[in-house]
Structures are given as C-alpha cells and as structure tokens.
Amino acid sequence: MQRVKIWDSFVRLSHWLMVVLLVAMWWTADNDYMEWHLRLAPLLGGLLISRLVWGLVGSQSARFSYFLGGPKAVLQHLREFKNGHYQPSNSHNAAGGWAVMLILLLLLAQFVSGLFAADGYFYEGPLAARIGSDAAELMTDIHQIVFDVLVVAVVLHLIAIVVYKLRGVSLVAAMLHGYRHNVGAVPLRNGLIGIALAAVAAFALFVWIN
Ligand code: HEM
Ligand code: HEM
C-alpha cells in the first residue's frame, strides 16, 4: 500500500495545540485565572493567524483553494459517503473543508472579540478602552456567545469524526502522524516555516496584549 504524507508538521502541531489552548482558554476564564487567559491568548492567536496565512501560501493540502469546493462538490461527497463509495482524499473532504473553515472563522471571531472584551474589574483586551464601556460590554457579550457557538461546532466536529470512523474512514491517525494510504501525492511545504511564523506572531501579540 502506498503511504503518502498529506499533513505537514505545522498543520498537525497547530491543530493539537489549538485543542489544548481552547480548553485552557475556557478553564482560565471560568476559574478566574484571567492573567493566564491573557497570557495564553497570544499563542492561540499566533497559531490561528499563521494557519490562515498557511491556507493561502502553505502546503497544498492545507490551502483553502484546494479543499473548499462549491455546492456540487459538497453534495457529491455527501452522496458518495451515504452510498459507501467515499474514498479518503489527500486533504479535507468537500464537506469537512467547510466545517474546518467555519471553526477557524469562529476562533478568529473569538480572538478578535476578546481584544475588545472587559470583565468590568481588572482585566480587559488591549482595545477595550478605545471603544467605550457600552461597546466593550457588547463585545464581551459577543465573546461569550461566540464561545457557545464554537463549542457546538466542536461537538459536531467530533461527531462527524466518529461517524466517518463507523463508516471505516479513520481521520484521526493522519492528523497525528501525517500519513494516509492510497491517495494521490500532494506537495508539502516545510512545516517549520509555519511554526516559525506562528512563534513570531505569538510573540508580537504577547508584547501587545500583556
Ligand atoms: C481565541 C480564544 C479565546 C477563547 C476560547 C476565549 C474564551 C473565553 C471564555 C469562555 C470567557 C468566559 C465568558 C463568560 O463569562 O461566559 C472569556 C472571557 C474573557 N476573555 Fe476570552 N477567549 C479567547 C480570547 C481572548 C482574548 C484574545 C482576549 C483579550 C486579549 C480575551 C479576553 C477576555 C476577557 C477580558 C474576558 C472576561 C469577560 C467577562 O467577564 O465575561 N479573550 N474568554
Ligand atoms: C477542541 C477543539 C477542536 C478544534 C477547535 C478543532 C479544530 C480543527 C480544525 C481547525 C481542523 C482543520 C485542521 C487544518 O486544516 O489545519 C481540524 C481537523 C481535524 N480535527 Fe479537529 N478540532 C478540535 C478537536 C479535535 C479532536 C479532539 C479530535 C480527535 C479526537 C480532532 C480531530 C480532527 C481530525 C481527524 C481532523 C482532520 C479531518 C480531515 O481529515 O478532514 N479534532 N480540527
């Protein structure tokens, strides 16, 4: 069986770090460790921004133009999946690609609203003071609502992964080691470039936010 590397190290590392950081961001806000909320936010922000840039100029399998298809492609994928004819590809499938995009955009909305949010006591994002307390309150509400939507999206993400597994398609292993069997070769960039980009972005955000 031909074994093809489809996910570079940056895509894999950023995925699993984002998982850990999302849980940590919820935990720190919920347990009054806001100083840590603001310390960890730059890391998640740096990963997120660099993943979005990687979606434009990174490895082919990670590019939005490669895995986002029109309604026809999505319907065809869903039909094939229903009929049991779906063969895993060398990137996200046509439906999963949009789910990925949705999660990335929700994370971005969460991050940006956080920059304007304020807890009303000691902690606030670096832009909260600039917009006045009413607008900051609104952004704080948005920060809370987007988080709830994000949780729903992540639960659906996990349900989808289980449904694929039940149909014999294992997606998790490739997100761990990067390889998938019997798919077409896909040119990858050196993931270290993405990791370096994320580190620089996270450092810049840290200096700004803290
Ligand atoms: C992108 C990742 C982020 C996640 C997942 C996240 C998550 C959360 C959650 C779950 C809460 C508690 C909301 C509630 O009270 O129900 C919260 C509150 C807060 N976050 Fe974030 N946050 C993120 C990014 C940021 C950023 C970038 C900043 C600012 C630089 C920020 C600043 C705040 C502040 C000031 C609060 C307190 C608001 C309040 O009292 O409700 N967050 N965040
Ligand atoms: C907790 C929050 C989670 C978030 C925010 C999240 C977000 C994402 C994102 C943005 C991608 C696209 C990766 C990329 O192209 O860079 C993705 C893909 C993926 N995630 Fe998650 N994820 C989460 C949890 C998990 C968990 C717990 C698992 C496994 C048990 C998982 C398994 C996967 C797999 C297998 C893919 C690749 C799907 C495919 O092959 O098309 N995710 N996830």
| Cα distances (Å, whole numbers) of residue 132 to 106, 140, 142 | 24, 12, 15
Nearest residue (CA) to ligand 1, atom 28:
114
- pTM for the whole structure: 0.95
The chain-wide mean pLDDT, for the chain, equals 97
> 29 CB less than 6 Å from ligand 1?
yes
pLDDT for residue 1: 66
Q: Where are the domains of the chain?
A: 3-209
State the Cα–Cα distance between residues 61 and 50, nearest whole angstrom. Answer: 15
* Ligand 2 binding site (Cβ under 6 Å of any ligand atom): 11, 15, 18-19, 22, 51, 62, 92-93, 96, 100, 103-104, 154, 157-158, 161, 171-172, 175
pLDDT for residue 123: 95
14 Cα nearest atom in ligand 2: 16
**Among 3.90.1280.10, 1.10.10.10, 1.20.950.20, 3.40.50.1970, what is the CATH number of 3-209?**
1.20.950.20
Listed as ranges, residues in the chain with pLDDT below 70 are 1
Contact 114, 39 (CB under 8 A): no
For the CA of 24, the nearest ligand: 1
Contact 110, 147 (CB under 8 A): yes
Amino acid at the residue 27 = W
> 37 CB less than 6 Å from ligand 1?
yes
pLDDT in tens, 109-152: 999 999 999 998 899 999 999 999 999 999 999 999 999 999 99
